[in-house]
Amino acid sequence: MDTLQYLGQGFDVALSPNNLVTALAGTTIGTIVGLLPGLGPINGVALLIPVAFALGLPPETALILLASVYLGCEYGGRISSILLNIPGEASAVMTTLDGYPLARQGKAGVALSISAWSSFIGGMIATVGVIVFAPLLAKWAVSFGPAEYFMLMVFAIVCLAGMAGDKPVKTAVAVLIGLMLSCVGIDANSGVYRFTFGSLGLSDGIQFVVLVLGLFSISEILMLLERTHHGQTALKTSGRMLFNLKEGSSVLATNLRCGVLGFIFGVLPGAGATLASAVSYMSEKKLAGDSGRFGDGDLRGLAAPETANSASACGSMIPMLTLGIPGSGTTAVMLGALTLYNITPGPLLFQNQPEIVWGLIASLFVANIILIVMNIPMIKLFTRILSVPNWTLVPAIAIITSIGVYAVHATTFDLFLMIAIGIFGYLLRKLDFPLSALLLGFILGDMMESNLRRALSISNGDLGILFSSPIAIGLWALVAAMIALPFWRRYRAKRSAKLANA
């Protein structure tokens, strides 16, 4: 049992006093960021990258910090959904459907504790999944050559667009814009300046931190400006804080089902927490049939998206760690942070730096436990943070963002670039393009191009290498299936519309 031995090593890393304090700080910060309306895990993780650098944290500690912030955000997102009916981020939208009605019925305490419990179970199921599947996948992935890697990234991108539901073309366009942005700068292979327009600041390429903070922080500030008008007051949490045994056992089956479902969605590249929570809510609603009161305060309707949500957050660590391909916007940011530390995630990471991988996996366990222990007694404190007004929050976020960007190169050029990217991101959001797709494209861009060129160098320019191995052919088949998915969905929707009319 190599795995158990490695896991033991991982716990040694995760339970060292420094890392334990880091995990505690990370989960607290994450919960607070997650519950502030408009700020999600991507903002939280991105803002902390410069801080992690400045503190001089070693890579495994930095990664533990970012991962615990991520999990904390998924926890915190539910507080504002349940009490304010405002989801802190996209993946918490489903939580509002049954959480807010419960809070209005005076069961806010029960709703909060049962959703915390659901998140915990989901996170635990997915962490076990990570322990079982990540080493297997890593062993298998060692045999991937550049051609297979290229195809895998094509699959990740197509998957993102195919799963996007109602707007595959917009998602694809957003990914392509991200891929284009990653081309800016000196071409590493030939030394040619690409798309720099003679600017020195761009010759190094667009810095990852600049892009993320511009895209998510600046555009979020502009979005908050619009929403700042209508204030809403949080519902009081009164009465019983803890759910009782009967309520707990009534959602247990839901927890288990949705935990597995969420984990699978987390592993799929590009699917992510938003989709996982939506699908699990819908399937639970179907399963419950007429017996459910989904939509006006069914506990199962609250447990389903919450479980899936945090299960997919943990599950999305698998493709990031084993393949170096992020499964969600937040893991894309974490991947970027790793490359800043000169660590290339991928199958070799398991062999070369097991302390980082297993330390991270063990810290997922630790963070989940910290979160459930912290959340139930401290709920009252967290709900008070909800009343921090925007006028104090936004200037602080904006200044910290600027410091983070300035710290990269110590030039103000990056600040201007960040603002330009922020305006662009704001426009894209207004026009309903998914920004996390753009970010994923930007992260994958470099790897995708270098793998394609390496593959073609091996074959001396023969495109046949992209079809040569069974893995590559299998990936082509998956790509074709993903491209067909939106068309099939549209066909089915049309047919059912016709049947309804007839």
Partner 1 sequence: MLYQRLFAASLLLACLCLGVIAWGFHAPFSYEPVGPRAYPLMLLILLGLGALVLLIKPALESSPSDEPALTKPMLIKVAICLALLLALASLFESLGFVPSAILFALGMARLFGGRWLPSVVLAVVLGTSLYFLFDRILDVPLPLGVLAGLEI
φ/ψ of 402, rounded to 5, equals: -65, -40
How many Å apart are CA 427 and CA 173, to the nearest integer?
A: 14
Residue 414 CB, nearest approach to partner 1 (Å): 9
In the range 31-50, which residues lie near partner 1 by CB under 8 A?
Answer: 50
Nearer to partner 1, 223 or 478 (CB): 223
Interface with partner 1 by CB under 8 A: which range of 76-84, 204-212, 399-407, 473-481?
399-407
- Determine, following the binding rule CB under 8 A, whether residue 245 of this chain makes contact with partner 1: no
Q: Candidates 123-131, 203-211, 316-324, 410-418 — which segment interacts with partner 1 by CB under 8 A?
A: 410-418
Q: Between residues 14 and 278, which has the closer beta carbon with respect to partner 1?
A: 278
The Cα 114–Cα 108 span in angstroms is: 10
Using the rule CB under 8 A, give the single segment among 2-10, 354-362, 404-412, 471-479 that binds partner 1.
Answer: 404-412
Question: How far is residue 415's CA from residue 420's CA, in Å, rounded to a whole number?
Answer: 9
Task: Write down the least CB distance from residue 82 to partner 1, Å.
Answer: 20
- Tell which one of 39, 103, 130, 218 touches partner 1 (CB under 8 A): 218
Which region, judged by CB under 8 A, interacts with partner 1, from 110-118, 126-134, 218-226, 348-356? 218-226
For the CB of residue 292, give the shortest distance to partner 1 in the complex, in Å: 26
54 binds partner 1 per the rule CB under 8 A: yes
The label of the residue with tokens 């506990």 reads: 299
Asked if residue 423 binds partner 1 (CB under 8 A), the reply is yes
Site string for partner 1, 166-185 (x = CB under 8 A): xxxxx-xx--xx-xx--x--
Total residue length of the chain: 502
Under 8 Å between Cβ of 454 and 146: yes
Using the rule CB under 8 A, which residue among 289, 461, 464, 470 binds partner 1? 461
Torsion 248-294-118-116 (CA) sign: negative
Q: What is the number of other CB atoms lying within 10 angstroms of the CB of residue 199? A: 12
Q: How many CB atoms lie within 10 A of CB 241?
A: 15
Radius of gyration of the chain (CA): 22
Which of 17, 191, 289, 464 touches partner 1 by CB under 8 A? 191
Question: What letter represents residue 184's amino acid?
Answer: V
Q: At closest approach, how far in Å is the CB of 223 from partner 1?
A: 8
Please select the residue that binds partner 1; options are 187, 242, 249, 295, rule is CB under 8 A.
187
If binding is defined by CB under 8 A, does position 56 make contact with partner 1?
yes
What CA–CA distance (Å, rounded) separates 99 from 83?
8
Nearest distance from C-beta of residue 1 to partner 1, angstroms: 42
The window from 120-128, 217-225, 256-264, 308-316 that contacts partner 1 (CB under 8 A) reads 217-225
In the structure encoding, which two tokens stand for residue 120, read together?
A: 């915990």
Q: Of 288 and 456, which CB lies nearer to partner 1 in the complex structure?
A: 456
Give me the DSSP letters along 202-253. TTT---HHHHHIIIIIIHHHHHHHHHTSS--PPPP--S--S--HHHHHHTHH
> Which ranges constitute the DSSP H helices of 272-323?
272-288, 299-315, 317-318
Please give the structure tokens belonging to residue 78.
Answer: 């539910």
Angle between helices 390-409 and 219-227 (to 10 degrees): 170
- Which 372-391 positions form the footprint of partner 1 (CB under 8 A)? 389-391
- 148 vs 472: CA distance, rounded Å: 5
Site size toward partner 1 (CB under 8 A) is 65
Q: H or E element: which one contains 186?
A: strand 185-186
Nearer to partner 1, 44 or 486 (CB): 486
- DSSP secondary structure letter of residue 104: I
- The CB-of-482 to partner 1 minimum distance in angstroms stands at 15
Other CB atoms within 10 Å distance of the CB of residue 160: 28
Residue 25 engages partner 1 in binding (rule: CB under 8 A): no
Q: Choose among 306, 310, 361, 281: nearest CA to 63.
A: 361
Closer residue to partner 1, CB minimum distance, 50 or 259: 50
| Residue 194, SS3 per DSSP | strand
Report the C-alpha gap between 222 and 92 in whole angstroms.
21
Interacting residue ranges for partner 1, rule: CB under 8 A: 50-51, 54-56, 166-170, 172-173, 176-177, 179-180, 183, 187, 189-192, 194-195, 218, 221-222, 224-226, 228, 389-392, 394-396, 398-400, 402-403, 406-407, 410, 412, 415-416, 419, 422-423, 426-427, 429-432, 449, 452-453, 456-457, 460-461
